Amino acid sequence: MDSKAETGSVRSVERALAIVELLGEHQALGLEQLHYLTALPKATVSRMLLTLQEQGWVYRGLSDRQYRLCAKRLFGDSQLRFKRRLVERAAPLLLELSERTGLVADLSCFDGERVEVMESSIPGVLRKRYPNNCQIVGHHASLFHSAMGRACLGELQSHEVQRLAQRERLDDESVFSATEQVLHQGFGQRTEGHWEYPVRLPFLIRAVALPIHADGRLVGSMALHWPMDEAPVERVLSLHLNSLAATIGHVQQAMA
């Protein structure tokens, strides 16, 4: 007959596997959703998730607070594994950058076609200004208007920029303006007043971004953004552009 300890251990494994299976099926789930789907007490699910995090099975998003399987636990989709690995390596650095600068720090992936927002960290000093429902993770930033997109454009060959511009139905003048600015400045800067996401902030923002490379290729970008009334771009550049560049350097080292 199994001892109580053995029975408890087996039950814990079964519960943990149930959570892993649900995350594999749904990609991302929050604590409330897992509590509902497993029919387990919320405190039990929370303990299981903490253990799975400690053992390197799950990652919890900085922005949406949802749980996902870690990159090394995924099979099949190599591109998805790469994106998850980038997020997991960058997350603690993104959080530290955000708190150090007092600005929102965003991470994106670029697949050669689109810029996808993968993670976002809002510092404590700005959380009251950013409503909880204004989540941009999982959405695509504009290549020609967002700071993250422009940072990527500055790394591309001219024929690639033209191809992407044709897809977006932009005229030559718009393309030239967007790319020339990046090449001249050395960083991507957001088009003020443009907002491409389905959720809107209650104020205008400014943003600057730099590209990220891994394995000898462009893989995305990292941006700092802030409410327009907080500071002009020039002040943020003088105070924080070096910190942004250093953080990206650490991310690239972690991905090597």
175 vs 44, residue with greater confidence: 44
Q: Give the torsion through C-alpha atoms of 122, 127, 131, 134, to 10 deg.
A: 0
8 vs 230, residue with greater confidence: 230
Record the tokens describing residue 161, joined without a space. Answer: 């920029």
Let me know: does 70 contact 83? Beta carbons within 8 Å. no
The full 3-state SS of the chain, as one line of letters, equals CCCHHHHHHHHHHHHHHHHHHHHHHHCCECHHHHHHHHCCCHHHHHHHHHHHHHCCCEEECCCCCCEEECHHHCCCCHHHHHHHHHHHHHHHHHHHHHHHHCCEEEEEEECCCCEEEEEEECCHHHHHHCCCCCCCCCCEECCCCCHHHHHHHCCCCHHHHHHHHHHCCCCHHHHHHHHHHHHHHCCEECCCCCCCCCCCCCCCEEEEEEEEEECCEEEEEEEEEEECCCCCHHHHHHHHHHHHHHHHHHHHHHHC
Task: State the average pLDDT over residues 54-79.
Answer: 90
Which CATH number describes the domain made up of 4-69? 1.10.10.10
Mean confidence (pLDDT) of the chain: 89
Let me know: does 115 contact 152? Beta carbons within 8 Å. yes
27-45 per-position pLDDT tens digit? 899 999 999 999 999 999 9
Is residue 6 pLDDT above 70, yes or no? Answer: no
Q: Give the per-residue pLDDT at 68.
A: 94
With 0-12 CB in 10 A as exposed, 13-18 as middle and 19+ as buried, what is 13? exposed
Q: Could you confirm whether domain 76-255 is CATH 3.30.450.40? A: yes
Q: Give the per-residue pLDDT at 231.
A: 94
99-104 LR contacts (CB < 8 Å, sep 24+)? 99/123, 99/124, 100/243, 101/224, 101/239, 101/240, 101/243, 101/244, 102/126, 103/224, 103/225, 103/226, 103/236, 103/240, 104/130, 104/224, 104/225, 104/226
Let me know: does 73 contact 36? Beta carbons within 8 Å. no
Q: Whole-prediction pTM value?
A: 0.88
For residue 184, give the nearest of 153, 143, 159 by alpha carbon. Answer: 153
Give the pLDDT band of residue 9 (cuts 50, 70, 90): low
Chain CA centroid to CA 172, Å: 31
Q: Give the per-residue pLDDT at 7.
A: 56
84-134 per-position pLDDT tens digit? 999 999 999 999 999 999 999 999 999 999 999 999 999 998 988 887 656
Task: State the average pLDDT over residues 239-251.
Answer: 97
127-162 per-position pLDDT tens digit? 888 876 567 888 999 999 999 999 999 999 988 988
Q: Which sequence spans correspond to the domains of the chain?
A: 4-69, 76-255
Q: Give the per-residue pLDDT at 162.
A: 86
Let me know: does 18 contact 35? Beta carbons within 8 Å. no
15 vs 131, residue with greater confidence: 15
